Structure 1
Amino acid sequence: MASLLRRVKSKMSIFAHRKARGMLEGEYGSVFKGRSLDFDDLRAYVPGDEVRDIDWKATARHGSPLVRRYAAVRRQTLLLVTDTGRNMAAESRDGEEKKDIAVMAMGVVGYLAQRHGDAVGLVCGDTGGSRTIPAKAGEAHLERVLREVHDGASLAGEPSRIETQLEYVAQRFPQRLLLLVVADELLPGTETERLLRRLRAQHEILWLTVRDAELAGAAATGDSYDVAAPGQRSGQQSGLLPGRLAASPAVAAAYTRARDERDAARTSLLRRLGIAEADAGSSHDVVPAVFALLERHRRGR
């Protein structure tokens, strides 16, 4: 059985040279820095410091800007939260199974956590409930976590519902954690917002969206439609809708509008709550997406 973690490391080596990997690890290391940790002392503001770290009361007394410094906590717990319902066994925008992209994203962040000595745990599941693997350190443990996600998602499984896993985390994990939530193109509702508000008050949250396949195919992008040849993989140019539907400008426009509205609603909610988001449509996108995600989180966007 091929090692999933070895595949993750291979992708990281291909898409991130030594300098980039160092920057990626630096971004991960900064996730908790200066956020709800133990106060250490004050020092003079220097250009490049985060404005939100300025202690305005102390600044007023002192007469020049002062920023708060915090004692760095060297060990954290990363909790990977993902959907293993049948949605994640469907195709992504690039034609891969979405679960492969999810495994790659969790593998990259999990590997960074291991390099920092952090423990990694997992919560996954579907509408039927959630499964958990307690947080531990070590590459063998991370391989087990990735294998649980990879083998747990199938087209024969229960429907997807990431809110089930978010509710599980809210009820079972009171200690402060770093959460990496990996889900598909969620359309958030009132329950989603309730759960994320509750979790955001307790935890640091990163959100990575796995992009769905373009169901309308070429028609959605304005290209001419060509009926798939026998044996052609669905999701390549011709799209996943039957020929006449995919070729219909009205269907393509409705599909595109629904997708854009879903994206806008999700992005708006996450921004309001101060949760950084990135997306990936293929495993090739994962390393740059993770870098962007960590950087957005550090900047408080």
Structure 2
Amino acid sequence: MDSLLVRIKSRMFIHAHRKALHLLDGEYGSLVTGRSMDFEDLRSYVAGDEVRDIDWKATARHGATLVRRYTALRRQTVYFVLDTGRNMAARAADGERKSEVALAVVGVLGYLAVRHGDEVALLSGDAERTIRLPARSSEDHLERVLRSIDAAHSLDSPQSDLERTLRLVARTVRRRAIVVVVTDDATLGAEQTRLVRRLRAQHELVWVTVGDIDPLRFAGATAVDDGWQIPEALRTDRRLTAELTRSIDEEILDRQTTFDDLGVSHRRVGRVDDVVPSLLHLLKARSRA
């Protein structure tokens, strides 16, 4: 059986013959701001040390420049929170299955986490099921996470219920963690917005939306594999298509505004090939913020 993680790694390249992996590695630290403030000891200054780490009082007493050392940051836990309901078995914005895009997002960020010694955990579900895998730091464990996600998505899955899954995260994930939510292209309701605000206060929250298929762009394409298509007469109606395009754009803008107001890092991804550059853009935006 082919490794899903190996497939993810093979996609972690960008143009100009540079490995996207290295660029993402450089931005990964921006997922969590700050550093440990647990003082350990003093040592002599060496070129490259941060000026802010110089202990000026100890330097004055000792007669040589001394810097403070701190204990290393504890290992972080990255929780991947996914909607594994029927909606995620539909088609994404570029015609691929949404589950494939979601799998790529988890694979890229999960691999970066494992490379940095962090742990990855899975908490996903729908209206009837909950899938949980504990926090571990190994490529074998990440492979199990990816396979659990891949097996859960199907058109026979129960209805999506993001609110139920978010409520479970808020109630059960007590220790502060990095929470990466990957979900459908849906508008947040009042209760979901309240839960997002709560999770934002509890954890470092990152939100990735998998965009819906554009029914006008792909002739013969369907959101789900049920054979239904937009009639050709409606597809060629300029007034109707302009109204639909405007409605979709407004919905995307409203969602982004909502996440900006909540202070949540958000990115909408429509195809697997856009996952790496989109995540790089998201992490850089967090770093600048």
Give the TM interval when normalised to the shorter protein: 0.7 to 0.9
> Would you say the 8 A contact 1:33–1:72 is kept in 2?
no
Q: Is the 8 A contact 2:14 2:20 kept in 1?
A: no
Q: Which residue of structure 2 lines up, in the alignment, with residue 111 of structure 1?
A: 111
Please report how far the alpha carbon of residue 86 of structure 1 lies from its aligned counterpart in structure 2 after TM superposition. Answer: 1.1
> Is 1:286 the counterpart of 2:279 in the alignment?
no
Matched residue, 2:7: 7
Counterpart for residue 161 of structure 1: 161
1:99-178 → structure 2 map (5 Å cutoff) = 99-178=99-178
Structure showing greater relative contact order (alpha-carbon pairs closer than 8 Å, 6 or more residues apart): 2
- Which residue does the alignment assign to 1:262? 251
Match of 2:242 in 1: 253
Tell me, in whole angstroms, the C-alpha distance in 2 between the residues paired with 1:138 and 1:289: 25
Instruction: Name the aligned partner's letter for residue 251 of structure 2.
Output: R
Q: Which runs of 5+ in 1 are unaligned?
A: 41-68, 219-227
TM-fit CA distance, 1:292 = 0.9
Structure 2 gaps, min length 5: 40-68
Larger radius of gyration: 2
CA contact (8 A) 1:88 1:99 kept: yes
What is the percent sequence identity of the aligned residues? 44
After superposition, what is the alpha-carbon deviation per residue over 1:65-107, rounded to whole angstroms, capped at 9, x for unaligned? xxxx996514100000111111111111211101001000100
1:217 paired residue number:
217
Distance 2:208 2:70 in 1: 28
Secondary structure of the structure 1 residue equivalent to 2:140 = helix
CA-to-aligned-CA distance 1:176-225 (integer Å, 9 cap, x gap)? 0001111121201111210011000010011111111002336xxxxxxx
Report Cα offsets for 1:15-70 as digits up to 9, x if no partner.
695564222112112322317x5476xxxxxxxxxxxxxxxxxxxxxxxxxxxx99
- How do 1:83-94 residues align onto structure 2 when only pairs under 5 Å count? 83-94=83-94
Q: State the 1:130 CA deviation.
A: 2.6
Give distance in 2, aligned partners of 1:16 and 1:127: 44
The normalised TM-score by structure 1 is 0.78
Say yes or no: does 1:277 pair with 2:266: yes
Q: Which amino acid aligns with 1:93?
A: A
CA distance in structure 2 between the aligned counterparts of 1:216 and 1:274, rounded to whole angstroms? 33
Match of 2:188 in 1: 188
8 Å CA contact retained: 1:206, 1:297: no
SS of alignment partner, residue 268 of structure 2: strand
Counterpart secondary structure, 1:201: helix
Deviations 1:130-187 (A, max 9, x none): 3211111111111111111111011111222322211110011111000111112120
SS of equivalent to 2:11: helix
SS of 1:263's equivalent in the other structure is helix
Asked whether the 8 Å contact 1:93–1:214 carries over to 2, the reply is yes
Decide whether aligned partners of structure 1 residues 188 and 234 sit closer, same or farther in structure 2, where only a CA change above 3 A counts.
closer
Supply the distance in 2 between the matched residues of 1:213 and 1:234 (Cα, whole angstroms): 8
Work out the CA distance in 2 between the residues paired with 1:172 and 1:297.
26
Q: Secondary structure at the match of 1:217?
A: coil
* Cα distance between partner residues in 2 of 1:114 and 1:215: 38
Q: Distance in 1 between matches of 2:274 and 2:20?
A: 15
Q: Compute the RMSD of aligned alpha carbons.
A: 2.7
Kindly provide the amino acid, as one letter, of the partner of residue 232 in structure 2: G
CA distance in 2, matches of 1:16, 1:116: 25
C-alpha distance in 2, partners of 1:15/1:177? 33
Aligned mates of 2:186, 2:272 — CA distance in 1? 19
- Work out whether residues 80 and 120 of structure 2, in 8 Å CA contact, stay in contact via their aligned partners in 1: yes
- The TM-score, its normalising length taken from structure 2, stands at 0.81
Partner of 2:285: 296
